[in-house]
A = this chain, B = another copy of it.
Amino acid sequence: MQDELALVQKISRLARRALQKPSAGQVTLGVGDDAALFRPTAGHESILTCDWFLEGTHFLRDKHPPDAVGWKCLARALSDIAAMGGAPRCFLLSLALPASHTGSWLNAFLGGLRRASREFGCVLAGGDTTRTQKILINVTVIGEVRPDATALRSGARPGDTIYVSGHLGEAEWGLRLLKLRKGLARGGDSRTRKHLYPDPRIALGQWLAKNHHVTAMMDLSDGLSLDLARLCAASGVGARVEAARIPSLPISADDRRHAPDPLLLSLHGGDDYELLFTVPPRSVSRIPRSFQGVRLTAIGEITRNRQLWLCRKDGAEEPLVAGGWDPFR
């Protein structure tokens, strides 16, 4: 029990430092009681989301540096808040660790988590800890949004233009490189950065939703082909995507011999945490080419016919099959 107490104290230092003078939209009681208390902002709804981040399924103990695990477990949950057009407020951390990982591993993990917590203004409010053999993480994030400034998956209409932020396939390519190498990933390699330290598009999501520029929005966590199929199913529509317009990543000549086709990576690679959104005709002229340094690209349009089609560069059309190609699963 002494170990357990030390663990909670180590984690709660993270919370105490982040706690502020309580006011609306803030945590008024943090780690240490039966539950946390949060004071909602008047006129806002709370956004609730939770995400598994499990050793073996979502990260590998011998490949992923602990500070990347700390950063990413929060960042990917925050991506769901971004997809609703919301502002992050606080999070709960459920952490189950082997005894061997409560020292330097935990310190580095908390370091990465603290950086993400500060970067995105999301305070640790509470959580639960226990011992296990594998590292198990679950993160719940509470965000806020005005009811008239949110974006759902279900509003896409025929004729809307389909956009994505950033480049697609980068995270999956980073994972592939990481698996090819021996030992823990090193920092400083730009090719693995997006896989290890994803950057949820919170400011972009808020701007798009608040200004009513989008009819539907979601984040890209499982790859464009699968996530676009989900958005279309929720909206009762179809889509036509132009291969030539998809912002694939550039792959260097050196890497090309072991790299898959960039188009396949960008269609089916997961973990990018970019935003996928649909813009009605009246708003297309309002969408800039980039937002705070993040590229915004029109890749196709929503159709009445409920199928998904991919237009090849040579003009041929083929069905876009969700997750049709995936060497990593």
Contact = CB atoms under 8 A, between A and B. Distances in A.
Interface of A: 1, 28-29, 32-40, 42, 44-52, 54, 56-57, 80-81, 83-84, 86, 90, 92, 94, 96, 125-128, 130-132, 136, 138, 140, 142-143, 145, 147, 150, 152-154, 218-219, 226, 234, 322-323
A57 B130 contact: yes
Name the residue in A45, A80, A126, A140 with the highest tally of chain B Cβ atoms < 10 Å from its Cβ: A140
B48 A150 contact: no
B80 A50 contact: no
Given A1-B322, A323-B1, A35 B47 contact: yes
Given A1-B322, A1-B323, A138-B138, A46 B37 contact: yes
A48 to B, nearest CB: 4
A156 to B, nearest CB: 13
B28 A45 contact: yes
A57 B127 contact: no
A156 B271 CA distance: 48
Nearest to A35: B49
7 contacts: A33-B234, A37-B150, A38-B45, A38-B48, A40-B46, A50-B50, A57-B132
A200 to B, nearest CB: 11
In the complex, the count of this chain's copies comes to 2
Contact of A92 (B29, B50, B83, B84): B50
Contacts of A80: 34-35
A37 B154 CA distance: 14
Contact of A48 (B96, B125, B219, B226): B125
Given A52-B96, A322-B1, A47 B36 contact: yes
Name the residue in A81, A138, A154 with the highest tally of chain B Cβ atoms < 10 Å from its Cβ: A138
A40 B126 CA distance: 19
Contacts of A56: 132
B35 A126 contact: no
A48 B142 contact: yes
Given A35-B81, A84-B37, A130-B52, A46 B142 contact: yes
A54 B142 CA distance: 24
A162 B286 CA distance: 64
Contacts of A38: 45-48
A32 B218 CA distance: 11
Contacts of A57: 96, 130-132
A25 to B, nearest CB: 11
A292 B45 CA distance: 34
Nearest to A323: B1
A115 to B, nearest CB: 22
Given A1-B323, A33-B84, A37-B150, A90 B128 contact: no
